[in-house]
Amino acid sequence: MMPASLLLAGLCAFALVPPAAAQSDHAVHGSAPSAPAADEPVAMDHGDGGQMDMEPSTTCAPEHAAMGHCTPEATDAAEAPADPACPPEHAAMGHCAPAASTPTAASGAVGTDLPPGDSPAPPVPDDWYADRLYPEGEMEHSRHVMMQESGGLTTAFLSFSLAEYQARKGRDGYRWEAEGWYGGDINRITLKSKGEGAFGEAIESTETQLLYSRAVGPYFNLQAGVRQDAGHGPDRTYATVGFEGLAPYWFEVEGALFLSNKGDLSGRIEGYYDQRITQKLILQPMAEFNFAAQDAPEIGIGSGLSDMELGLRLRYEVVREFAPYVGFEWARKFGDTARFARAAGEDASGVSFVMGVRAWF
């Protein structure tokens, strides 16, 4: 590699320089090998530190030597210090202690071709260097801002995953599902709201959850808090713990356990999948299952699988933030839950045609 590239370097040096300038330029190179700009050691103003000169100050670059512009004082191999990790000038400055020469150095490898040593890493400093030069208070403040602006900012978010009109047998109705959160990457306060009703009647049911949400992995949040229900029948308050996140195969899933103030235990699992038909047209199948550990006739819930809901919605993302949709929803109650419903004069299952908007802010 090296001989080829050096030859290339030599040839290209001619190609680079315009003919008129070539002679004088190289005359400069030849007579004063240390003059070319990029060969110049980088002079650093170290402030309170001393001057440090890392580099050999004169070089007769191989391509110049090859062109007869100068004579290298020694070959690379001979020039290389016995311990490449610790050249004499650095040893003299106390930067390192020379070790025995390595076999690699003898093999002619140089620079970045050499393997690294195994020196220990220095300790992490316990102060900030800029505090030595600028007022510490100002630095402290700007450092705080810098860190906040590099990963520490909070976000607020509000979304309506469903906000729809439901056409069905009997009175048409409406339904919404919304979620808002505020917080950082790991810790958030989350508010969930859902509800439904029929036009011309009082709201049938609402459910509001106030949750602490914590990221527990790359894809999932653990959530805990309280849920308050209102609407038909007695109101209930629940303690809840659950999760939400992204499962393999791009399924958005959510699940929770609820313990009511009457001691009733219930659970829910739901999920959806976004199937992109085009960049803006998306078909979304969704499913929700509710379970209960015991019968709670006063709120119309029976034990076991109490109800399920399957939906299919086709939305068009006018922009990502705003997508009108149409679709179908099929809901069915099971077991005692179905029995309680029929006893109350309601259907145990039904189909709705839905149209609405999915939006977020």
Partner 1 sequence: MQIDRRQFIGAAAGGGAAAALAAWMPAWAQPVSPGFKAQLPTVSGDDITLRIARQTMRVEGKVARAIGINGTIPGPLIRLREGQRARLTVVNELDEDSSIHWHGLILPFQMDGVPGVSFPGIKPCSTFVYEFPVVQAGTYWYHSHSGLQEQLGHYGPIVIDPKDVDPIGYDREHVIVLSDHSRLSPEAIFRKLKVNPGHFNMQRQTLGGLLAGKDQSLKERVEWGAMRMDPTDIADVNGSTYTFLVNGHGPSDNWTALFAPGERVRLRIVNASAMSIFNVRVPGLRMTIVQADGLNVVPLPVDEFQIGVAETYDVIVTPVEDRAYSFVAEVNDRSGMARATLAPRAGMIAAVPPLRKRPLATMKDMGMGAMGGDAPCPAEHAAMRHCMPAADAGADHAAMGHGAGGMNHSMRDFDVAPQVKRDPSVQTISPMPVDRMGEPGQGLEDAQRKVMTYRDLVALDRNPDFRAPGRSLDIHLTGNMERFMWSFDGVKMSDHHEPIPFIEGERVRVNLINDSMMVHPIHLHGHFFELVTGKGDRAPRKHTVIVQPGGIATFDFTADALGDWAFHCHLLYHMHAGMMRVVSVRPKEDAA
3-state secondary structure of 189: strand
Residues 6+ apart with CB under 8 A from 30: 64, 69, 70
Separation between Cα atoms, residue 227 and residue 268, nearest integer Å: 13
Q: How far is the CB of 272 from partner 1 (least distance, A)?
A: 14
Residue from 43, 78, 92, 100 binding partner 1 (CB under 8 A): 43
Contact pick of 66, 67, 82, 105 for partner 1 (by CB under 8 A) = 105
Distance between CA atoms of residues 174 and 19, nearest Å: 82
Residues 143 to 172: which contact partner 1 by CB under 8 A?
Answer: 143-153, 155, 157
- Residues 209 and 192 sit within 8 Å (Cβ to Cβ): yes
Least Å distance between CB 224 and partner 1? 17
Closest CA to 99 of 110, 115, 114, 88: 88
Shortest CB 349 distance to partner 1, Å: 30
- Closest distance of CB 229 from partner 1, Å: 28
Taking the C-alpha atoms of residue 54 and residue 42, their distance in angstroms, rounded to an integer, is 8
Find the part of the chain contacting partner 1 (CB under 8 A) among 93-101, 202-210, 226-234, 261-269. Answer: 93-101
Show contacts with partner 1 in window 246-265 (CB under 8 A). 246, 248-250
Element (H, E) at 78: helix 76-79
Q: Which of 65, 66, 67, 96 binds partner 1 (CB under 8 A)?
A: 96
Using CB under 8 A, which of 67, 82, 114, 310 touches partner 1? Answer: 114
Q: Is 73 in the site for partner 1 (CB under 8 A)?
A: no
User: Using CB under 8 A as the criterion, what x/- string covers residues 182-221 for binding partner 1?
Assistant: ---xx----------------------------xxxxx--
β-partners of residue 270 are 254, 288
In eight-state DSSP terms, residue 48 is: T
Of 30, 87, 98, 267, which lies in the binding site for partner 1, with binding defined by CB under 8 A? 87
| Cα 236 from Cα 356, distance rounded (Å) | 29
